[in-house]
Amino acid sequence: MSSTMNTVGRPTAPNPVDHDYKHPTLTGGRGLLQDEKLIFELDGWDKTGVDLPEPSADGSDLGDLARAAPIGLPGLSEPEAMRHYVRLSQKNHAIDLALYPLGSCTMKHNPRLNEKMARIPGFSDIHPLQPQSTVQGALELMDQLAHWLKTLTGMPAVALSPKAGAHGELCGLMAIRAAHQAKGEHTQRRKVLVPTSAHGTNPATAAFVGYQVVEVAQTDDGRVDVADLAAKLGPDVAAIMVTNPNTCGLFERDILEISRLTHEAGAYFYCDGANFNAIVGRVRPGDLGVDAMHINLHKTFSTPHGGGGPGAGPVVLSEALAPFAPAPWVVDDGKGFKLVEFEEGEADQAFGRLCAFHGQMGMYVRALSYMMSHGSDGLRQVAEDAVLNANYIKARLSDVMSAAFPDGPCMHEALFDDEWLKGTEVTTLDFAKAMIDEGFHPMTMYFPLVVHGAMLIEPTETESKQELDRFIEALRALAGAAKAGDVERFKGAPFHAPLRRLDETRAARAPRLRWTVPEGSNRAAE
Amino acid sequence: MRFTKDHEWVRLEGDVAVVGITQYAADQLGDVVFVETPEVGKIVSPGDSFAVVESVKAASDVYAPVAGEVVEANTDLGSAPETVNSDPTGAGWFCKIKVADKAQVEALMDQASYDAFLATL
- Cβ contact A508–B33 (<8 Å): yes
pTM for this model (two decimals): 0.87
Chain B residues touching A449 at Cβ < 8 A: 58
Tell me the per-residue pLDDT of B27-47, one tens digit each, with 9 for 90 and over: 999 899 999 999 999 999 998
Question: B31, B53, B76: best mutation site toward chain A, by most A Cβ within 10 Å?
Answer: B31
For chain B, give the percent of residues with pLDDT over 70: 100
A454, A448 Cβ separation under 8 angstroms? yes
Does residue B106 belong to any structural domain of this protein?
Answer: no
Banded pLDDT at A55 (limits 50, 70, 90) = confident
The pLDDT assigned to A349 comes to: 66
Tell me the per-residue pLDDT of B101-116, one tens digit each, with 9 for 90 and over: 999 999 999 999 999 9
In the predicted model, what is the mean pLDDT of residues A445-449?
A: 90
Does residue B53 belong to any structural domain of this protein?
Answer: yes
Banded pLDDT at A367 (limits 50, 70, 90) = very high
How distant is the Cα of A272 from the closest Cα of chain B, in angstroms?
Answer: 22
Task: Work out the angle at residue A290's Cα, subtended by the Cα atoms of residues A289 and A296, and round it to the nearest 5 degrees.
Answer: 150
Across chain A, what does the average pLDDT equal? Answer: 92
Q: Tell me which chain B residue has its CA closest to the CA of residue A429.
A: B57
Number of domains in chain B: 1
Dihedral angle computed from the Cα positions of residues A100, A102, A106 and A110, in that order, rounded to the nearest 10 degrees: -20
How distant is the Cα of B120 from the closest Cα of chain A, in angstroms?
Answer: 17
* Max CA pair span of chain A: 98
- What phi and psi values does residue B51 have, to the nearest 5 degrees? -155, 165
The pLDDT assigned to A344 comes to: 65
- Cα–Cα dist A267/A245, whole Å: 21
Q: Tell me which chain A residue has its CA closest to the CA of residue B81.
A: A509
The pLDDT assigned to A521 comes to: 64
Q: Tell me which chain A residue has its CA closest to the CA of residue B78.
A: A509
For chain A, give the percent of residues with pLDDT over 70: 96
Q: Does B121 touch chain A (CB under 8 A)?
A: no
Host domain of residue B20: 2-101
Instruction: Please name the residues in contact with A401: beta carbons below 8 A apart, sequence gap of 6 or more.
Output: A416, A420, A455, A475, A479
- Count of CB pairs separated by less than 8 Å, A with B: 17
Does residue B91 belong to any structural domain of this protein?
Answer: yes
Tell me the per-residue pLDDT of A81-134, one tens digit each, with 9 for 90 and over: 999 999 998 888 889 999 999 999 999 999 999 999 999 999 999 999 999 999
- Cα–Cα dist A355/A194, whole Å: 27
Letter string b/e over residues A290-321, b meaning 16 or more CB atoms within 10 A of that residue's CB: bbbbbbbbbbbbbbbbeeebbbbbbbbbbeeb
Banded pLDDT at A140 (limits 50, 70, 90) = very high
Does residue B41 belong to any structural domain of this protein?
Answer: yes
Does residue B108 belong to any structural domain of this protein?
Answer: no
In the predicted model, what is the mean pLDDT of residues A490-518?
A: 87
Banded pLDDT at A337 (limits 50, 70, 90) = very high
Please name the helix (run of DSSP H) or strand (run of DSSP E) that holds residue B35, with its range, or none: strand B32-36
Does residue B118 belong to any structural domain of this protein?
Answer: no
Banded pLDDT at A1 (limits 50, 70, 90) = very low
The pLDDT assigned to A307 comes to: 67
Banded pLDDT at A2 (limits 50, 70, 90) = very low
Task: Work out the angle at residue A343's Cα, subtended by the Cα atoms of residues A174 and A141, and round it to the nearest 5 degrees.
Answer: 80
Does the pLDDT at position B23 exceed 90? yes
Residue A327 DSSP symbol: B
A278, A388 Cβ separation under 8 angstroms? no
Instruction: Please name the residues in contact with A452: beta carbons below 8 A apart, sequence gap of 6 or more.
Output: A417, A418, A419
Of A446, A449, A505, the CB nearest to B33: A505
Does residue B113 belong to any structural domain of this protein?
Answer: no
CATH number at residue B77: 2.40.50.100
In the predicted model, what is the mean pLDDT of residues B85-93?
A: 96
Tell me the per-residue pLDDT of A456-494, one tens digit each, with 9 for 90 and over: 999 999 999 999 999 999 999 999 999 999 999 999 999
Domains recognised in chain A with CATH numbers: 113-370 (3.40.640.10), 376-497 (3.90.1150.10)
Of A446, A449, A509, the CB nearest to B81: A509
- Cα–Cα dist B117/A204, whole Å: 31
Chain B residues touching A505 at Cβ < 8 A: 31, 33, 56
Chain A residues touching B31 at Cβ < 8 A: 504-505, 508-509
Does residue B115 belong to any structural domain of this protein?
Answer: no
Of B54, B57, B81, the CB nearest to A446: B57
